[in-house]
Structure 1
Amino acid sequence: MDIEFVRSRFIKHFDGTTGSVYASPGRINLIGEHTDYNGGFVFPGAVDKGMVAEIKANGTDKVRAYSIDLKDYVEFGLNEEDAPRASWARYIFGVCREIIKRGGKIGGFNTAFAGDVPLGAGMSSSAALESTYAFALNEIFNCGLDKFELAKIGQATEHNYCGVNCGIMDQFASVFGKAGSLIRLDCRSLEYQYFPFNPEGYKLVLLDSVVKHELASSAYNKRRESCERAVAAIQKNHPHVEFLRDATMDWLKEVKNEISAEDYMRAEYVIEEIQRVLDVCDALEIGDYETVGKKMYETHHGMSKLYEVSCEELDFLNDIAKKCGVTGSRVMGGGFGGCTINLVKEDKYDAFIEEATKTYKEKFGRNPKVYDVVISDGSRKLC
């Protein structure tokens, strides 16, 4: 995202002076889907696409905000009853309110922002927006909040002001991202560890199916309930098991006849997926990207056949990746549409993109969108 472009819009819409410019990225998740609510691990990284905002305290108790992409201007106060109607402005308002709830003293400010995180591609543009403002306002108004609290502020904004009951992975990756590294986040303890991700000779590319099937929210709840039933059955033999993260396949097999075949399949996927995250971390420590790719394919198979959250379009893109010799490919995110994430050797990249685009268009009548991503730094001040 061009800093000078954001600055020019800021100068035009406000008093002709400049403020400070901050940025936060979107994210990918290399592996570890539907593991978060099962007490397991996720493995995200920040990407080279995100949000950029210019911000300057204005000495009032009013926020004056301009969305460059939407060409929309909103003004609002900092009290609970001042919540703006515009959905994009509620993210900024929510961050302000969550900082205030934590004892931060912030005043009014002028701001203009823009982003290049593709909407609907599962790269978390909303988390990038929240993290940008949490990081910036914490610094500008000397609130003294640590990075963990900034990530929690973004999550609480989603919960309390935007009606989305999300986990913390998106905001965590946006705030804590580091170029050349992925982050293994323990969703139970919130302990985290960086692992090297420098795939020389490979590219990381998302193929957006440009579909979103409407099953997602009800299907998500059903799968969560399946996991909880499996845990309840296992607990009878192993009382210390709190999440599927604590269970083994042997313990699941002990209760195979006590739960439905569907619940068994869901739990099998989750237990195996939690182990796959650990296996990928081990592989990255020795630079073994072939094993990383193999585990990605295993995840796709599990999400498609056991957890049943894939769809025809995503399975098609995964099959094309296999046929083209792509090292690793899987559905990224909750499923039922969105993107596949693909680890591709550079010498196979052009042929893969050409074949995937052509055959997908022939089959589904639309082109997939292609997003190359590079693992990059998290929230930061640019100037």
Structure 2
Amino acid sequence: MDIEHVRSRFAKHFDGATGAVYASPGRINLIGEHTDYNGGFVFPGAVDKGMIAEIRPNGTDQVKAYSIDLKDYVEFGLNEEDAPRASWARYIFGVCREMIKRGVDVKGFDTAFSGDVPLGAGMSSSAALESTYAFALNELFGDNKIDKFELAKVGQATEHNYCGVNCGIMDQFASIFGKAGSLIRLDCRSLEYEYFPFNPEGYRLVLLDSVVKHELASSAYNKRRQSCESAVAAIQKKHAHVEFLRDCTMEMLEEAKADISAEDYMRAEYVIEEIQRVLDVCDALEKGDYETVGQKMYETHHGMSKLYEVSCEELDFLNDCAKECGVTGSRVMGGGFGGCTINLVKDELYDTSLKKHRKLSKLNSAKARKCTTL
């Protein structure tokens, strides 16, 4: 992230003024997709790419925001009826509103921001943006500082109430709590978490961008969540203690099969299996068993593609390439419908596997692929 670039753009658009600079990282998720809103476990970590913003209170009741990357400028007020039309500005507006709801006396401010998290790539650029502004507004306007757990919930509530995505807590939590050299196993029901050192010797994580941009609010993301809730409601008829799919076994799901649609059954089957995969991967990492980690990643991709149906032709192609190249593990990362695959690659295979990926891509009629190494 280029702080000087943000500062120069801020000064240009706001008459040479200076403000305070804040930043938050994007994230990867080694395994555990669509488990967060089902009360399960996820296994994310922060990355060295994120969002950075310069902010200065302006003494008015108006927010004046400039997106450096989009070259777009928006002004909006702080009342509910002042919501801006620009989708990127709604993230900032939503954070303002959620902080106000929590008693923070947010006033008008000038801001410019930029990021190097690829937009729509499944690395949670939106959560990084929300976390940046939640932390900043807490520092600038909060007399009684909100704790980090609540700041993560501010970002989640912004997605729910102002951006149309009923997401879980993982992305915002990883952005706020992530630390270098570690992954976080997060229990999304209790918010208990544990850091796992992650410095795999002999392996590296590689993200391959499908160049297909996902739009979760306009996709089937919310429908997937509804399917999970329908399955839980059916299971509760015989198992009243069940609150989330996290509480369910495949035997319970089988009992309820006649009461739910085939589609809802598939969605629930994937989630129940994925929650267990997170725990299996944690156990494998503690043993240094990266072959099992890779196997579980491939299982996750299969489940997301065939059961949860959130993959796409390009992501499946990249996953097939990974298998052909001998990559230890590969899967779609993030909510799906586009974005990246995350790949666990042995060091000695790194150069040859990337070359083979590129060769296969040229032979395939799909869009050209870009490679990003983390």
* TM-score normalised by structure 1 residue count: 0.88
Query: Aligned equivalents of 2:230 and 2:6: distance in 1?
Result: 50
State the partner residue of 1:100: 100
Deviates more, 1:161-170 or 1:172-181: 161-170
State the partner residue of 1:45: 45
Deviation at 1:263, TM superposition (A): 4.4
The reply on whether 1:115 has 2:115 as its aligned counterpart is yes
**Percent identical:** 83
**Cα-to-partner distance string for 1:309-340 (whole Å, 9 max, x where unaligned):** 33332222112111212111011123333221
State the partner residue of 1:147: 148
Contact 1:196 1:284 in 2 (8 A): no
Deviation at 1:345, TM superposition (A): 1.4
Query: Aligned equivalents of 1:19 and 1:55: distance in 2?
Result: 5
Q: Secondary structure at the match of 2:74?
A: strand
State the partner residue of 2:284: 283
Query: Aligned equivalents of 1:132 and 1:55: distance in 2?
Result: 10
**Cα-to-partner distance string for 1:161-184 (whole Å, 9 max, x where unaligned):** 223332222111111111111122
Deviation at 1:63, TM superposition (A): 2.3
State the partner residue of 2:317: 316
Deviation at 1:261, TM superposition (A): 5.2
Q: Secondary structure at the match of 1:337?
A: coil
Query: Aligned equivalents of 1:266 and 1:86: distance in 2?
Result: 33
Query: Aligned equivalents of 1:90 and 1:223: distance in 2?
Result: 24
The reply on whether 1:364 has 2:373 as its aligned counterpart is no
For 1:172, the aligned partner's letter is F
For 1:181, the aligned partner's letter is S
Deviates more, 1:205-214 or 1:55-64: 205-214
For 1:57, the aligned partner's letter is P
Higher relative contact order (CA 8 A, sep 6+): 1
Change (3 A) 1:302 1:162: closer
Query: Aligned equivalents of 1:22 and 1:205: distance in 2?
Result: 27
Query: Aligned equivalents of 1:69 and 1:179: distance in 2?
Result: 26
Deviates more, 1:214-223 or 1:169-178: 214-223
**Cα-to-partner distance string for 1:192-238 (whole Å, 9 max, x where unaligned):** 22222112332211112223689996754554454445434544443
Change (3 A) 1:89 1:274: same
Query: Aligned equivalents of 2:113 and 2:215: distance in 1?
Result: 31
Structure 1: gaps spanning 5 or more residues: 374-383
**Cα-to-partner distance string for 1:79-112 (whole Å, 9 max, x where unaligned):** 3333333332222222122111111123222221
Change (3 A) 1:290 1:228: same
**Cα-to-partner distance string for 1:267-313 (whole Å, 9 max, x where unaligned):** 33222111110111122233332221121111112223333333332
Query: Aligned equivalents of 2:110 and 2:320: distance in 1?
Result: 49
Q: Secondary structure at the match of 2:189?
A: coil
Change (3 A) 1:149 1:226: closer
State the partner residue of 1:270: 271
Query: Aligned equivalents of 1:98 and 1:17: distance in 2?
Result: 27
Structure 2: gaps spanning 5 or more residues: none
Query: Aligned equivalents of 1:105 and 1:289: distance in 2?
Result: 49
For 2:310, the aligned partner's letter is V
Query: Aligned equivalents of 2:228 and 2:88: distance in 1?
Result: 34
Q: Secondary structure at the match of 1:210?
A: coil
For 1:110, the aligned partner's letter is D
Deviation at 1:245, TM superposition (A): 1.3
The reply on whether 1:88 has 2:65 as its aligned counterpart is no
Change (3 A) 1:83 1:165: same
Deviates more, 1:218-227 or 1:84-93: 218-227
Q: Secondary structure at the match of 1:50?
A: strand
Within a 5 Å distance, the mapping from 1:167-206 to structure 2 comes to 167-206=168-207
Change (3 A) 1:237 1:348: same
Query: Aligned equivalents of 2:228 and 2:6: distance in 1?
Result: 45
